[in-house]
Each structure stands twice: as C-alpha cells, then as structure tokens.
Amino acid sequence: MFDRSVEAPAKPALLENPGDHHDPHSQLHAEKTATTIGRKPSIEYRADIDGLRAIAVLLVLIFHGGLALFPSGYIGVDIFFVISGYLTTSIIMTSLDKGSFSFSGFYTRRIWRLQPAIIALLIATLLITTLLYLPSDYVDFLKSEKYTSLLISNQYFSKVTSGYATPDAASLPLLHTWSLAIEWQWYLALPLGLWLLNRYVAKRVFKATVLGLTLAAMALALYLSYAYPDRNYYFFTARIFELMIGSCAVIFSSETFRLKRLNASLICALALATLFYCATREDILSGFPGYHAIAVCLATAVLLFRGIGDASVTSKLLAFRPLVFIGTLSYSLYVWHWPILAVTSYLGIALTPLVQLVYFGATFVIGYLSFVLIENRFRKARAGFGKTLIGLMIVPAIALSLLHSAGDRNEGWPNRFNQGSNNLFNGLKASVPANREACLGVSDGTDPGCIMGAAQARPQVLLMGDSYSNHYWGFIETLAKDAGLAVLAQGYPACLALPNIYLYNWYKAKNALYQKCHNAAQRYYEMIANDHFRYVIIGQFWEAYLTDAIVTRLEDPRSVELSQQRLGVALRQALDIIVKSGATPVFLMNTLPMPTGINECLLKQVKLRGLLGSAEQSNQCASVPWSNDEDPTLARLFSELQGEYPSLIVIDPKSLQCKDGACATTVDGLPVYRDLGHMTDYASYRFGEMYLKRFGNPLKGAQ
C-alpha cells in the first residue's frame, strides 16, 4: 500500500520505498512525456512524498500504540491510499504514453515488490500463533491467513469483527492486511480501467470521465457510511474513491501549471492542518470513511499535486531527511507493527509506557531489518510473470487454504498444549448447544431448533432479549428441564426487547433508529399476546441501555433522564402485556460485567505453558473484588416494578457468582466469560444447577 513513483537515488536502500513499482535505476532519467490525453505526469522522485508517507505511517503507529495524541490516527491509511492512487496512475499512464505498458510486466513488478514481505509476515505469524494461540483462535487465524493470501482479507474482517479498533479485533495478527487487500484490488481494477479509458475515450472527455467516476465513487462511499456504518470501514467500494482522488491529482496536473510559492505554501499549510485536525478528532470513526475521509484525501491530493505541493515550502519540510528515511521504511513498519500489538494484547499485556516503548522500538528494528533483508533484496523481479504468479501468489494461497482446512478438521490441534489444557478445551466445547448461536438475530419463532428444555408439543416459556438473553441458554434450559417445560429462545443483538420504543444511533444504526430491533420487539409481543406462554423471560445487559438512546420516534428530544423515563414506561407496558396474556414475567439480571483482560489473564498459563510465572498470575485472576454496588437507577426501577407487579420474578446470577466482596471468574476451573462479557456455556449450565440447589426452581410456581 505504500507505492512510490520511483526514485533516482544514489542510495536506493535508504531512499527507495517499499511500494515502488519499478526498479529505480530503470527510471532514473525518465523523460517527461506528453500523454495522449494532454497532461504530463512525471515519475521523478519527490522526497516530500516520502515525508508525507512518514507522517501517514507515524499516525497509524501512534494510534495503534495507544497514545492519545492522535485519536483518529487511522487516517494515515487514507493518506497512503491517495499516494498509491497518485503513483500507480503516474506510472501506468507514463508507460502507456511510451507504448511500453504491459499487464504482465505491471503485475510481475507488483508481486515482487509486495509479496516477499507478506509471505515473511505469514510465516512469522504462523510460527508465533502455533506456539501461543488457543485452538479456536488458531483456526480463526489460519482462516485469516487463507483470506490474506487470496487478497480478500478486508471482506473477511468485515464479517468477523464488530468494527475497526474494537476489542474483538485487538488480537488478530493479520487485521492490518485489510488495507493491503484493498490495495491489491485496486491493482486489479486500475490498469485495465486506465488502459480502456486511454484507448477508447476521447481526449476531450477523458478528464471529465475520470472526475465523474471519482464523484460517483465518493457518493457511494457516503451512502455506505450511512447504510453500513459498522462494516464499511473495510469495504473496497467505500475506499476506491480515495485511490481515485490520487489518480485525479495526476490526470488534472500539468507541467505548465505552477503556483507562486507563497500561494502554494498557504494552500499546502491548510492541507497539512486539515490532516492533523482530522487526526485529532475523537468522534469520527462511526461510518468512516465519510466526510472526514474526503477532507483527508483532498488535502493529501493537494500536497501531491504538481505545481502546488512541490512548489510550496511544505515540500521542503516534508523532505526533512529523518522523515524521508521513515517514509522509505513505511511499508515494513506497517507490515510488522500490528502483529506485535496483537500478540501483546492476546497475552493480556497492558500497554504501559514501558510496553509502548518496546513496541515502537521493536517495530522500527524489525521494520528496518525487513526492509534491508527482504524488500531491498527482492526489489527486482527474479522471474517472468507466470513463474512469479505461481510461486509467490498461487502456491502460498493453495498451501494456506489447505492448512486452514486441516486445522479446522483437527479443531486447531489442541494437543499443542498439555493435557490439563486439553481438558479445559474439551469442557468448554462439550457444553456448547448446537443451535444457540442460530437463535440470535431471529424473532419469528418458527425455527424448531430454537426450542430447548423438556420435550413438549409446544413451548410454554419464551426467552427473549439481546445477546445476553442468548448466553443464558444453558441456565434457562437447566431450569426448564427440571420444571418439565419447553422454552422458545429468541434474541436480537444489542436490542432492548421492549414495546413501543426505538434505539437511536445504536449498534448498526448511524444517526438513525434501530428499526430491526423495534420490529423484532413488536413480533415478540405479538407472540406473547397470541401464544399464551406460562412464563416470559426477558434477559438483557440492562446497564448498557442507561444512555440517551431510548426514544419513541425520531424527533424525540434525547437526554439520559428522558431515556430512563422512557425505559420505565416501556418496562411497564411490557409487563402489562405479559400479565394480561396470563404469563408470569421473569427478568434476568446480568452477571458481573466482564473485568477488562480477565480471560487473557486466566488463560495466560495455557498459552505460556505455565512458564514465566504465568500459572501464578492466572490463579490470581480466578476472582475479582466486588463492591456489591448496583446501578441506583436500575435498583430503584426494579424495586418499584416488583412492588407494582407482584408476580414479577427477578433472577440475579450475581447471587451465585459473587460472595463476600469477590466475584468468581472461573467455575470448576473453567472461565465464566467467553467473549465481551457473555458467559461460557459451561458456566451458564453450571449456574443453572447451582441456582436450583440454592434457591429452588422459580419456573415451578405457575404450573
């Protein structure tokens, strides 16, 4: 992703960039050639572009390193995309002008420039994860390796993460390859697109055509930002406009155009200020790339534009030698920085100042070694297109696909760990209900696989709510079997299952109502009114909804106080519907919210085989302090509801999990939590058994 228009350096090892398409010496004295469409792009070396690349990679490294200096430092990737569009377009158009362009030559050079470092990355991360990653995580990693080798890791990560810079993405060693996948997808589209336009589009409409396509791509990105705010970050269709803006900076340039230094410097100073302004914003990630990304890309294009960027004082500042040097390492720095952080996160190592210092130091040392030993060494093509494609692309893709299939069949090879660890894996796996996950995101009640408990002709209990109702599957099934009842489990992610309300700007709804949640809740209460359940159980992560998000319509004013008032009204409406149907209402409270880093701590002894004091550290995490404090708003509300609705049953799993100022994070030596706060199925079933023994069965009272 760090393309470079090519250099004329005396010391290519220091000045040549990892993303270069051609050998620098072959273009050392490239002449400025008029193109068939009337502009004259040059591929002469510009040190200021290396400086700009350095700023981009430093923004990314600082952001990922946990420093608060640039809360939106991920815009560095957008800067890279614009630079890539600019340089690839310059190179291809110059080759077309000379009549020397060939698709095979282009792709041969690209593969040799990018793939050696990627293959080294895939091998290195494979070795590390084989040693450290637990079976299920290892299978997921092998899958990400497969998709990285197939150049579609961006699509994969858009499906398996809840978003960018989210906790569930922090320990994925190849997460950062999403941008390299987009880069390769650009390489597949750009050469053919430029070749067709150059061949079939008249000179007088060429620029207008490119501009029109860029504006259309920009409009598409804005639509995706609105429609898919949680996933569009990884979409090629949401990113292509950034690369096309770089292309426009070439196509609309002219050797006859050059601003006066003062004017150019003022414009470029504003462009740099725009980049740093956007990098310091704290609230632009939702739906990104959107308007802020457009501003970043336009500012970058200004800095690249011939006659503006190279005519300004800022070009001298960007050509500062330390910046240029970092720019030459940018590809390697980007390739190796994230696996360091991912493994650190996976081992539960907090980003203390000392760890951050080690991270930056290791990134630069490994990045420099990679640049010298891999990138520079394999800079020139060493085989023709056919052999290059097979050796560096097809063979790795086939090998990693087969490895993933084998890993999946063998369940991540748990025998990599000791017998005690295998018992832990087997205990967790054996408790997972076959149909539980499939019953999250449904609300029509038609799937027989969502009925659990005792064998009955029809379900007498409805379990509904958000994903936290789904993690109570084992708990409720244990109670239901004991009571001889069948339970229909329905749930919707991040959804408050109450009538006549909406959640605003919530989950996947950006500045809009979470309509799917509202529709699901409406169907739940229709089922309650029509199906005459004995019990209706609502399980939620209640504390998560004590925000300003609850409204009854889009135009409602929003505040935390108003939202909590609407929550109280909706709860009473829900109870009225349930009681009127003849059912007994049951509210499920939440377990102790998952302590930060608890599973990393508990499982550290497994990952490190008990070495380096990991066993002692894990044992210390088997319980955490508990202040016995409940949210006062919820405590007051639920107390009022129990007074108003005498049949209401409230079940609080913390009565099992917590005692004497401490809460257990393991049960029978197995973790209580499986991901971002949800219980493991083993803990869910065991809590059900423990509840029966201690409190009896609350589902036997209304039979």
Which residues, 6+ apart, have CB-to-CB distance to 253 below 8 Å? 39, 40, 41, 305, 306, 307
- Band (pLDDT 50/70/90 cuts) for residue 531 is confident
Q: Is the pLDDT of residue 8 over 70?
A: no
Q: Which two tokens stand for residue 405?
A: 């299939």
Q: Report CA 86 to chain centroid distance, whole Å.
A: 27
pLDDT, tens digit, 9 for 90 and up, residues 61-73 = 999 999 989 999 9
Three-state secondary-structure class, residue 375: helix
**Does the structure show a pLDDT above 50 at 42?**
no
Residue 357 to residue 341: CA distance in whole angstroms: 12
| pLDDT top residue among 423 and 111 | 111
CA dist., res. 578 & res. 641, Å (int): 13
The two structure tokens encoding residue 230: 């949680």
Inter-residue long-range contacts of 187-190, CB under 8 Å, 24+ positions, other chains counted: 187/88, 187/106, 187/107, 187/110, 189/240, 190/85, 190/88, 190/89, 190/92, 190/243, 190/247
* The pLDDT of residue 518: 95
**What pLDDT score does 17 carry?**
39
pLDDT in tens, 255-303: 889 999 999 999 999 999 999 999 999 989 988 999 999 999 999 999 9
CA 543 to chain centroid: 24
What pTM was computed for the model? 0.86
Q: How many residues does the chain have?
A: 703
Report residue 432's pLDDT band, with 50, 70 and 90 as the boundaries.
very high
Question: Is residue 530's pLDDT more than 50?
Answer: yes
The arithmetic mean of pLDDT across residues 325-339, rounded, is 97
* Helices vs. strands in the chain: H and E counts, helices first: 28, 15
Task: Please say if the pLDDT value at position 175 is more than 80.
Answer: yes
pLDDT at 34: 36
Q: Which residue from 332, 339, 327 is spatially nearest to 370, judged by alpha carbons?
A: 332
pLDDT at 43 (0 to 100): 64
Find the mean pLDDT for residues 86-114. Answer: 93
- Percent above pLDDT 90 for the chain: 79
Angle, helices 330-346/103-132, rounded to nearest 10 degrees: 20
Torsion, CA 290, CA 294, CA 295, CA 301, rounded to 10: 160
- What is the reported pLDDT for 675? 82
